[in-house]
Amino acid sequence: MTVATATPAAPTGTPAPVRETRSDRIVMICNYTALGLFTLAVLYPLVYVASASLSDPKNVVSGEVWLWPVGWSVEAFTAIFDYDSIVSGFSNSIVYAAGGALLATALTLLAAYPLSRRGLPGKGLIMALFVFTMMFSGGLIPTYLVVDRLGLLNTRWAIILPAALAVWNMIITRTFFQTTIPEELAEAAKVDGCSDVGFFWRIVLPLSKPIIAVNLLFYAVAQWNSWFNALIYLTSEHLFPLQLVLRQILIQNNFDPSQVRDTAELIRMKELQEQLKFSLIVIATIPPLLIYPFVQKHFVKGAMVGSLKG
């Protein structure tokens, strides 16, 4: 990287570039090497998984695949569609991620906005209650009881509702409102005869696109990756999200090797795992990868504004 600064040096009058100092260059080289290595460390597993998913499973097991696919085969991807649970898992995951993200974002905005306004009575107490739940929770069984008594067990709501508001996101959103929507703006709107709801709808929301995008992404990714709530609350296979099915394939092979009761089964499971593992990981990674570029430009802005100026 050469930085040219205009300095009158040669009598010809053409500005000659200032040479970087030695130390600058060393720093630069170190920087690029470190970043390069870091990029490789992040990129390599991605490339490996993609290559492995497109290779013949035999070559994966024998360790021949290390960067590019060996023995090209898309069988792993076609095999996925033979499993009803994988297909239904994929669509369920989309429903949970989309539904969860929309509902959670709506709730987060509705909770964060009033708490960002100065005039709200009992604001401190409400905030304290929210924060309290970040530190303490009832634990697995009481929560299970609540979900059970609300009649949510084994319904899609059991996945969406209990995860519908993350206090952390709410705090970031509140800070965003506090810093970007000045109190004076609200006063001006009020003078012009705008109601609180109208102000929120017509002025606050259009000004808050970055934070909305950030919330949607956070919630969608969290839902997409989560499996524990599904494990605990769901008991019908047609409701299981993709992550549970993926997990099933990965653990199904964990046989006790000495109990090769049914050696044929062991071999079969091993093959299945080798075949499906990588293609499933690819499939499970694609949706977040697709969404990310669209929200990315808001992402840095929204998250930073919310967190830094708090």
Is the CB of residue 209 less than 8 Å from the CB of residue 150? no
Which of 103, 221, 266, 304 binds another protein (CB under 8 A)? It is 266
Total site size for another protein, rule CB under 8 A: 47
Burial of residue 117 (number of CB atoms within 10 Å: 0-12, 13-18, 19+): middle
> Does residue 240 touch another protein according to CB under 8 A?
yes
CA–CA gap between residue 181 and residue 170 (Å, rounded): 16
Shortest distance in whole angstroms from residue 40 CB to another protein: 23
HSE on the CB side for 196, CA within 13 Å?
6
Shortest distance in whole angstroms from residue 86 CB to another protein: 9
| Positive or negative: CA dihedral 154, 160, 162, 163 | positive
Choice between 211 and 280, CB closer to another protein: 280
Shortest distance in whole angstroms from residue 212 CB to another protein: 33
Is the CB of residue 173 less than 8 Å from the CB of residue 110? no
Choice between 139 and 206, CB closer to another protein: 139
Binding part of the chain for another protein, among 119-127, 133-141, 187-195, 289-297 by CB under 8 A, reads 133-141
Shortest distance in whole angstroms from residue 138 CB to another protein: 10
| Positive or negative: CA dihedral 281, 286, 289, 295 | negative
- 8-state DSSP, 117: S
Tokens 């959670």 belong to residue:
104
> Does residue 103 touch another protein according to CB under 8 A?
no
Which of 141, 191, 197, 308 binds another protein (CB under 8 A)? It is 141
CA–CA gap between residue 260 and residue 205 (Å, rounded): 61
Which of 268, 286, 300, 309 binds another protein (CB under 8 A)? It is 268
> Does residue 286 touch another protein according to CB under 8 A?
no
The neighbour count for residue 11, using CB atoms within 10 Å, is 6
HSE on the CB side for 44, CA within 13 Å?
9
Shortest distance in whole angstroms from residue 94 CB to another protein: 19
What type of residue sits at position 214?
V
Binding part of the chain for another protein, among 175-183, 206-214, 254-262, 291-299 by CB under 8 A, reads 254-262
Which of 238, 292, 294, 296 binds another protein (CB under 8 A)? It is 238
> Does residue 259 touch another protein according to CB under 8 A?
yes
> Does residue 261 touch another protein according to CB under 8 A?
yes
Which of 71, 183, 262, 310 binds another protein (CB under 8 A)? It is 262
* Per-residue x/- track, 52-71, another protein (CB under 8 A): ------x--xxx--------
Q: By three-state DSSP, how is residue 48 classified?
A: helix
- The crossing angle, in degrees rounded to 10, of helices 242-251 and 84-116 is 130
CA–CA gap between residue 122 and residue 126 (Å, rounded): 6
Residues found near another protein in the complex (CB under 8 A):
58, 61-63, 82-85, 139-141, 144-145, 148, 153-154, 227, 230-232, 234-238, 240, 244, 247-249, 251-252, 254, 256-268, 272
